[in-house]
Amino acid sequence: MEDKEIWELLENREYAKIKEYLNTKNEVDLADLLERFPQKQQIMLFRLINKEDAAETFANMEPKMQETLVQAFSMKELREIMDDMFLDDTVDLVEEMPANVVDKILQATDAETRQRINTLLNYPEDSAGSIMTIEYIDLRRKMTVKEALKKIKRIGINQETIYTCYVIENRKLIGIVTAKDLLIEDDNKYIEDIMETNIICVNTHDDKEDVAKLFHKYGFIAIPVVDTEHCLVGIVTFDDALEVWQDEVEEDMSVMAAMAPSEENYFGTSVLQHARNRIVWLLFLMLSATITGMVLSYYESAFAAVPVLVTFIPMLMGTGGNCGSQSSTLIIRGLAVDEIQFGDWFRVVFKEIRVAALVGAALAVVNGLRIILMYSEIKLAVLLGISLFLIVILAKLIGCSLPMLAKKLGLDPALMAAPLITTILDTCSILIYFALATKMYQL
């Protein structure tokens, strides 16, 4: 059904038909659909969504729409939604909403949930604690499979994931049993006999990006989160980890393109905010380029005497920048997926220098031939050849070293990507080129 058909049905008050249609849609699609309608219709449509799908649909909406709805809900409606929402989604909601909306939300939750929300809100922003949920199934070692299945049947409905159950003793995590084990093993077996005791878990204060990496490495559906005493405090599920991972990629790409990372999507960001995200780096890089300008002024007499020298500046600067950003991108990715450590510096440099020698030689030869063809000047070809070769070597060296240095200093390696590397290399390229040129042309 197209949006305009829904509009028509709304106008003709054929709510039953809309309800029927909405009932065929996934919650994520429902949230998308509602976003396309104005406020008044959003609320009307939301009330036509199946009760069972309402909370999940609500959790999938953009914050702005959630705010509208919370303000439009009666206390009873809000309470129903809140009862059905998973705790981690509620926490996300509380974090996004303005204070008066948060008040209304908290009024609609019971005292126990409020306390749990508070606990979760207290974890540092980038920690595993901040993305975990405290809803999970805990079992005892002396339970049988049958008892465990019974427990799941009793409380399972409210758990976000029941596919991994956690075996607890004195609040400590001692084992893991998957739903698959429970489904397959004999009913009378004891949990302690089928549980996995080699547990991979994270600490509440671990960096959430490191947690996301574990999901990628091991392909888990959920990872348990423990405190310093190895007591189980919650679990992180793969969907939340996936989001962390995507945010990280988006953030890296922004930083690598000289922008402040933004949580909003492209159209969701205002023109002013777009400008703000971009201007700081541009200003910094523009002023840094002044240094290259100053180096050029120093050689003013040189290119006044041999003006053709100027025409190679874009090519040299471009090649240096591209070589540098190739290396820096590779190293930034390698650092991000933990393939490369700071201790590998020598190994990386050795590799990059050999690559640079090959690439530099090839570029120097091709460019030399071009110059001889265009200008029939061997001296110029030699000058450009040597310059190119040295610039490529330096570009690869700086391009691979700076991200590793940034990591070592606790900075984001992505800062050392193309824009900054290119600006640094511009100065270096000009210096190398004119130093050689003044020597060779005795200027």
Query: Structure tokens of 38?
Result: 């104005």
Site string for a copy of itself, 352-381 (x = CB under 8 A): --xx--xx--xx--xx--x-----------
Q: Give 258's contacts (C-beta < 8 A, 6+ positions apart).
A: 278, 281, 282, 285, 418, 419, 420
Q: Which of residues 192-211 bind a copy of itself (CB under 8 A)?
A: 198, 200
Cα distances (angstroms) measured from residue 269 to each of 164, 261, 280? 39, 11, 17
**CB closer to a copy of itself out of 109 and 164:** 164
CB of 227 to a copy of itself, least distance (A): 22
246 binds a copy of itself (CB under 8 A): yes
Q: How far is the CB of 381 from a copy of itself (least distance, A)?
A: 14
Distances (CA, A) of 313 to 303, 316, 408, 434: 11, 5, 34, 10
403 near a copy of itself, rule: CB under 8 A: no
Q: What share of the chain is helix, strand, coil (3-state, %, to 5)?
A: 70, 10, 20
By CB under 8 A, is residue 156 in contact with a copy of itself?
yes
Piece in contact with a copy of itself (CB under 8 A), picked from 10-18, 83-91, 110-118, 243-251: 243-251
Residues 75-134 contacting a copy of itself, CB under 8 A = none
**Closer CB to a copy of itself, 73 or 312, in the complex:** 312
User: Which residue in the set 64, 180, 379, 408 belongs to the binding site for a copy of itself (CB under 8 A)?
Assistant: 180
Q: Does 145 bind a copy of itself (CB under 8 A)?
A: no
- In the complex, the smallest distance separating the C-beta of residue 157 from a copy of itself, rounded to whole angstroms, is 6
User: Of the two residues 120 and 332, which places its CB atom closer to a copy of itself in the complex?
Assistant: 332
Please report how close the Cβ of residue 420 comes to a copy of itself at its closest, in angstroms: 10
Residues 213-232 that bind a copy of itself (CB under 8 A): 215-219, 221
Write down the least CB distance from residue 180 to a copy of itself, Å: 6
Beta-carbon count within 10 A of 140 CB: 15
Cβ atoms of 233 and 227 closer than 8 Å: yes
Under 8 Å CB-to-CB from 52, ≥6 apart: which residues? 84
Is 50 a binder of a copy of itself (CB under 8 A)? no
**Quick check: 24 binds a copy of itself (CB under 8 A)?**
yes
Q: What is the DSSP secondary-structure string of 55-71?
A: HHHHHTS-HHHHHHHHH
DSSP state of 178: E
Tokens 């440099």 -> residue: 349
Residues 96 and 63: beta-carbon distance below 8 Å: yes
Q: Pattern 299-318, binding to a copy of itself, x per CB under 8 A? A: -x--xx--xx-xxxxxx-xx
Q: CB 11 → a copy of itself: shortest distance, Å?
A: 26
Selected range binding a copy of itself among 90-98, 103-111, 256-264, 402-410, rule: CB under 8 A: 256-264
Q: Identify residues 280-299 at the interface with a copy of itself (CB under 8 A).
A: 281-283, 285-287, 289-290, 292-294, 296-297
Take residue 375 and report the two structure tokens written for it: 């200008």
Tokens representing 337?
């997926």
Nearest C-alpha neighbor of 224 from the set 186, 278, 269, 172? 172
Helix axis angle, 238-256 to 313-336, nearest 10°:
160
Q: Which one, 149 or 168, has the nearer CB to a copy of itself? A: 149
- Least CB distance to a copy of itself at residue 173 (A): 16
Question: Residue 410 gets which letter from DSSP?
Answer: T
**Which residue of 71, 72, 119, 163 would you call a contact of a copy of itself, by CB under 8 A?**
163
Smallest Cα–Cα separation from 424: which of 292, 311, 328, 315?
Answer: 292
Report if residue 171 touches a copy of itself, rule: CB under 8 A.
no
Question: From CA 183, how far away is CA 188, in angstroms rounded?
Answer: 12
**If binding is defined by CB under 8 A, does position 329 make contact with a copy of itself?**
yes
Binding residue for a copy of itself (CB under 8 A) from 422, 428, 432, 434? 422
Contacting residue, 57, 326, 387, 401, with a copy of itself by CB under 8 A: 326
249 binds a copy of itself, rule: CB under 8 A: yes
Could you tell me which residues come within 8 angstroms of residue 401 by beta carbon, excluding any fewer than 6 positions away?
345, 349
Q: Check: CB of residue 224 under 8 Å from CB of residue 196.
A: no
Tokens encoding 253: 């790409």
